Chain A
Amino acid sequence: MANDLGMKERLALGRVHMPELDATVRSRNFEEVNRGLGLEEAVREAKRCIQCKHRPCVEGCPVGVSIPEFLDALAAENLPESARILQGDNALPAVCGRVCPQETQCEAKCVRGMKGEPVAIGYLERFVADWAMANPEKLVKTQLPPATGKKVAVVGCGPAGLTAAGELARAGHGVTIFEALHDTGGVLRYGIPEFRLPKEIIDVEVSRLVAMGVEIECNVIVGKTLTLGELREEFDAVFIANGAGLPTMLNIPGENLKGVYSANEFLTRVNLMEAGRNPHAPTPIIAGRQVAVIGGGNTAMDCVRTARRLGAERAMIVYRRGEAEMPARVEEIKHAKEEGVEFVMLTAPLEIVGTDAGWVAALRCQRMELGPPDESGRRKPVAVAGSEFDLPAEVVVNAVGTRANPLLTATAPALELNRWGNIVADENGATSIPGVYAGGDMVRGGATVILAMGDGKRAAAAINSHLS
């Protein structure tokens, strides 16, 4: 036991607070909001872990990180060992430490949370991962096993694909990732804003995989540039993780007015193409003084906080249920509120009203009230008659969700799909075609980075046994 504190002393320690950039300052720039812990704070927080025997936190982690072990090494200030454990279990720890919903996963299971506050596992994961990034020369060198001679194609360079690629490379297989966009990271780069996940973190995590021998070919759209059939001829196994697809339309009048964006388009312009945050970026974006974002998930929060940073005086979340029903992370909601985002709750969009010149002028809405729970268990919103009103806006962003992307599956008729067009895969990612595995949003239809990573890890294990 590396921990020099007794149980009583450990239990007496209170949970650390994440230092944040001041809300007034940060709501006008794209700098990372959470600043990260210092060594002293991190070690102290790691000592709050009581190293309980049944390790419920590990069960709460979709990629099964050996949490008590990496915390124990951190508590002993053995950072190389802590990093070795963490990176061994998780291909993208600096990403997970920033974007995972720990409060519903590892930290929700932490025994310290039953009577007080759980250990800040997410903050510590980020701390150790960032330390590893800053101190590559101090890391324990891991020896790759001899090459197996087997080749695996990974479709999509997002969280699921990167995780699977890392696991497969570590098992000695030759891995090629095919990415449709011109850059790596998938949703980590085009979807998650800089202020939550700086893009250089993706670059470093990806370069770690490349150093392990993973090849990445961008600008390849599987289903268009190459077909699944061609990949199966060239590779011994294929893992499909091509992500979320087409935006779901609102199907309300005015959706094609100038100034109406899907969340995907709005975020891709700003995140991937740097519109509005790099003065030299040639890709434009309509910023808007008043911006209404429709939806209540993390994507909606990312859009509304981005709109604020692009200069919106009034940035609003319009959501048809109440705040308690919002699927967004508690931290995102808190940060958005601190940054001056308005929450227009129990409100559903009816129409986007335009100017004579075809620009967005307002979002016509209707008040809702919560009725009995629906099939998802959430209380179903019911319209209040005669409650229509207009929210003035120049930009409306639709962040209600995405549908399955048909590009790959359209050219692979043997691949079994569900009724929404998502690929059917078992708990190991195996699809209806032997040797073809799938995971992430293309299977789940819209979930989180960490669930996609869990899929990648399990599929890699299954591919590994399939190949040996």
Chain B
Amino acid sequence: MYEILENVILAPNLHRLTVKAPRVANARKPGQFVIVRADRGDERIPLTIGDADPAAGTITLFIQAIGASTLKIVSIPVGGALRDVAGPLGQPTHIENWGRVACVGGGVGTAVLFPLARALAEAGNQVTTIIGGRSEQYIILADELAAFSAEVLITTEDGSRGRKGFVTHALADLIADPARAPRVVLAVGPVPMMRAVAELTRPHGIETVVSLNPIMIDGTGMCGGCRVVVGGESKFACVDGPEFDGHLVDFAGLSDRLTTYRSFEERARHAATECRLAKEVANG
């Protein structure tokens, strides 16, 4: 059992969990993930490790509760526990001093981006961080990112905070400014966002790294469910990734595979919501 020491709501449906997992905390490097099961019989859910404290033996997980299984995970109170936490899995982020880099985060992707951006800053890069969300309440970690970023640019779709529009608008301006243009772009977020970032940087020849979160079960290369076509070759996101060259990823194929279990997920979500409602009604 892996005890939950903290469970904080950062944005609607977005939780930050601090979990006791000493072996994982000790071995983890930025960019790696864990596979989590809330309880016996539950699904295996891959989650990027946001941060780790080897001395305290804890890891930080950012979880967007969008399905029945993630809803169950975030509903575990402090003092409760996750049944399984396996990792760290995947390849760590390649950290190098490129000079100027841009880190682009969308939604919960911002949380995944956070430790990578910090590692890049610590390696001596001048980091410009661009984060976006639907509206102000979905903008997370802006202050934390500002602590080590040269600048933090915020975009919201409704204009309730920062610039109205998408992260790509802010990135396009950044690229157009010779004094601020990045050599490398790191993008983490929904697939359409990462795809748009990759398409934007492609004509400029700016190296672009994206972090993928496809369907997976074991996370150790055994099932191959997380395969994604990169540069015409099948790669396993769990062992070869989760980060890949954004200019080589087949985003269309990835998006399509992500819809495989959509009908199952909708049914499970309905069941979970109904269950919640029933409980609330029962509890008055």
Closest to A191 in B: B222
Question: What sequence of 0s and 1s flags, for each residue 258-278 of chain A, a beta carbon within 8 Å of any chain B beta carbon?
Answer: 110110110011000110001
A274:B41 contact, CB within 8 angstroms: yes
Decide if A226 touches B23 in the complex (CB within 8 Å).
yes
User: Does A249 reach chain B (CB closer than 8 Å)?
Assistant: yes
Whether, in the assembled complex, A417 has its beta carbon less than 8 Å from a beta carbon of chain B, the answer is no
Which residue of A is nearest B32, CB measured? A224
Main DSSP-derived SS at the B contact region:
mixed
Contact of B268 among A258, A259, A282 (CB under 8 A): A282
Name the CB-closest residue of B to A284: B264
In the bound complex, residues from chain B placing their C-beta under 8 Å from that of A218 are 84, 86
Q: How many residues of A contact B (CB 8 A)?
A: 39
Across the interface, which residues of A come within 8 angstroms of B37, CB to CB? 182
Known A226-B27, A265-B225, A268-B217; contact A219-B84, beta-carbon cutoff 8 A: yes
Tell whether, in the assembled complex, residue A258 and residue B256 are in contact, meaning their CB atoms are under 8 Å apart: yes
Distance between B239 CB and nearest chain A CB, rounded to angstroms: 7
A184 to chain B, nearest CB (A): 13
CB-based contact B222/A225 at 8 Å: no
For B267, the closest partner residue in chain A by CB is A284
Closest to A246 in B: B221
B283 at the interface (CB under 8 A from A): no
Question: Which residues of A lie under 8 Å from residue B228 when comparing CB positions?
Answer: 256
- A280-336 residues with Cβ-Cβ distance < 8 A to B are 280-284, 286
Report A-chain residues with C-beta under 8 Å of the C-beta of B217: 265, 268-269, 273, 283
Q: How far is the CB of A288 from chain B (nearest CB, A)?
A: 13
A58 within 8 A of B: no
Contacts of A244 in B (CB 8 A): 222
A268 to B217 Cα, complex, angstroms:
8
Encode contact with A along B204-221: 1 for CB under 8 Å, 0 otherwise. Answer: 000000000000011011
**Is A268 touching B222 in the complex (CB atoms < 8 A)?**
yes
Structural contact, A258 and B24, CB atoms closer than 8 A: no
* Cross-chain contact A224 with B89 (CB below 8 angstroms): yes
- A23 CB within 8 Å of chain B: no
Within 8 Å by CB of A256, from B69, B234, B265, lies B234
Which residues of chain A from 168 to 216 have any CB-CB distance to chain B below 8 Å in the complex? 180-182, 190
| A407 on interface, CB distance cutoff 8 Å | yes
Measured CA separation A186–B89 after assembly (Å):
19
- The bracket for how many chain B residues form the interface is 35 or more
Question: Does A406 reach chain B (CB closer than 8 Å)?
Answer: yes
Q: Taking the nearest CB of chain B, how far is it from the CB of A399, in angstroms?
A: 12
Q: CB-nearest residue of chain B relative to A281?
A: B41
**Set of chain B residues within 8 Å of A406, measured between Cβ atoms:** 221, 239
Inter-chain contacts of B236 with A (CB < 8 A): 246
User: Complex: how many Å from CA A283 to CA B38?
Assistant: 13
| A247 & B224 in contact (Cβ 8 Å cutoff) | yes
Q: Pick the contact of A268: B218, B256, B260 (CB < 8 A).
A: B218
8 Å CB contact of A258 from B27, B86, B260, B264: B260
Within 8 A of B (CB), among A211-239: 218-221, 224-226
Let me know if A180 and B220 touch, CB within 8 A: yes
In the complex, chain B residues whose CB is within 8 Å of the CB of A246: 221-222, 224, 236, 239
Residues of B within 8 A of A225 (CB): 23-24, 27, 86-88
Distance of A318 Cα from B264 Cα, bound (Å): 29
CB distance from A291 to the nearest CB of B (A): 16
17 further A-B pairs in the complex, CB-CB below 8 A; given A264-B222, A407-B239: A182-B86, A190-B218, A224-B220, A225-B24, A226-B27, A246-B222, A247-B224, A255-B227, A256-B228, A262-B225, A269-B217, A282-B41, A282-B42, A358-B257, A358-B259, A405-B221, A405-B222
Can you name 19 A-B pairs with beta carbons within 8 Å?
Answer: A180-B86, A180-B218, A219-B84, A219-B86, A221-B89, A224-B27, A225-B23, A225-B86, A246-B222, A246-B236, A255-B227, A256-B253, A258-B256, A264-B224, A268-B223, A273-B43, A405-B220, A405-B221, A407-B239
